[in-house]
């Protein structure tokens, strides 16, 4: 899989031929703004992101039989790699970026709030980056069972109370917390759970506007509270990890549906008791 000659340039073409099998990076960054030149392409002020309505005109997503992509968005994948695995490069890239934002997690004890697909992939990414212990927290049994099968060292179901989480937090059991549920309660739990001097990374989409947050603990515990947004060069890393099998993303695929079955696929994907990742296929 040859690297792109200049991954910052949306106009570079590196060995792509008609018929090549590719993974498509939904990010189309400009390559010339201050953020791009700093290597923080996800913060590009001119970015277009497939499926995003954050800019006008909106950019269409990939649920279509054909769409346009510039060459720099296309990374060749091996003939043997299923498209449905390559399609998960985007969420894995999100999670690799989130883990990178936490700094070096080697030997760290990590707690994750939210066992959805992003939570599960963040867990796998943290493991890949050397985390020593992974604790998954959620309020639903099925996703937690899935996390356990996927390699979580400990799962905590908060629907049964938070005594265990509180006791672990009091003993300083967590160096790094990832808030992935996108809920104010999740952020409050992450801040309360991480040890003094620890790191909290906000991965989930919180509600817009002001939310109550135990902010004083950020000061008093000297917590590094960090945001993470999409991904930059991690997309290529995600494709590489999937292609080599180092991260087995297909374990997250719980159902496959055709484009014609898309409405049912979305209903299924919303049911956390039945599904993790639902893949739409072209045929
Ligand atoms: Zn830019």
> Which tens digits make up the pLDDT trace of 177-198?
999 999 999 999 999 999 999 9
pLDDT of amino acid 211: 93
Which domains does the chain carry?
A: 103-227 (3.40.50.720)
The Cα 25–Cα 69 span in angstroms is 9
Question: Closest Cα partner for 47 from 226, 236, 229?
Answer: 229
- Please tell me the distance between residue 98's alpha carbon and the centre of ligand 1 in angstroms: 20
Name the H helices within the chain.
34-37, 83-86, 89-101, 117-128, 141-150, 163-170, 184-193, 215-220, 234-244, 262-270
- Which tokens in the block code for residue 258? 């055709």
- Please tell me the distance between residue 113's alpha carbon and the centre of ligand 1 in angstroms: 32
> Which tens digits make up the pLDDT trace of 80-119?
999 999 999 999 999 999 999 999 999 999 999 999 999 9
The Cα 235–Cα 86 span in angstroms is 11
- Please tell me the distance between residue 29's alpha carbon and the centre of ligand 1 in angstroms: 5
pLDDT of amino acid 13: 59
pLDDT for 63 beyond 50: yes
pLDDT for 3 beyond 70: no
- Please tell me the distance between residue 96's alpha carbon and the centre of ligand 1 in angstroms: 20
pLDDT for 275 beyond 50: yes
The sign of the dihedral angle between the CA atoms of 272, 276, 281, 283 is negative
pTM of the model: 0.93
Question: Closest Cα partner for 40 from 232, 192, 200?
Answer: 232
**Percent of the chain at pLDDT above 90?**
84
């Amino acid at each position: 899989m040859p690297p792109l000659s200049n991954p910052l340039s949306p106009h570079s073409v590196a060995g792509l031929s008609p018929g090549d099998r590719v993974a498509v990076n939904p990010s189309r960054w400009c390559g010339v703004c201050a953020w791009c030149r700093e290597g923080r392409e996800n913060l590009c002020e001119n970015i277009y992101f497939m499926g995003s309505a954050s800019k006008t005109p909106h950019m269409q997503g990939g649920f279509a039989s054909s769409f346009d992509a510039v060459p720099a968005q296309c990374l060749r994948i091996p003939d043997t790699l299923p498209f449905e695995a390559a399609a998960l490069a985007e969420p894995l890239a999100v999670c690799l970026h989130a883990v990178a934002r936490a700094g070096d997690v080697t030997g760290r004890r990590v707690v994750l709030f939210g066992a959805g697909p992003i939570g599960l992939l963040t867990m796998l990414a943290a493991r890949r980056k050397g985390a020593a212990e992974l604790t998954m927290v959620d309020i639903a049994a099925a996703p937690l069972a899935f996390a356990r099968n996927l390699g979580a060292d400990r799962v905590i179901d908060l629907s049964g109370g938070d005594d265990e989480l509180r006791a672990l937090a009091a003993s300083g059991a967590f160096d790094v917390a990832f808030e992935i549920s996108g809920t104010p309660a999740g952020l409050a739990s992450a801040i309360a759970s991480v040890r003094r001097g620890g790191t909290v990374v906000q991965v989930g989409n919180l509600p817009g506007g002001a939310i109550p947050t135990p902010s004083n603990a950020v000061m008093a515990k000297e917590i590094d509270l960090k945001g993470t947004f999409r991904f930059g060069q991690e997309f290529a890393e995600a494709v590489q990890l999937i292609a080599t099998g180092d991260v087995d993303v297909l374990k997250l695929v719980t159902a496959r549906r055709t484009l014609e079955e898309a409405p049912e696929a979305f209903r299924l994907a919303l049911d956390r008791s039945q599904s993790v990742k639902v893949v739409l296929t072209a045929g």
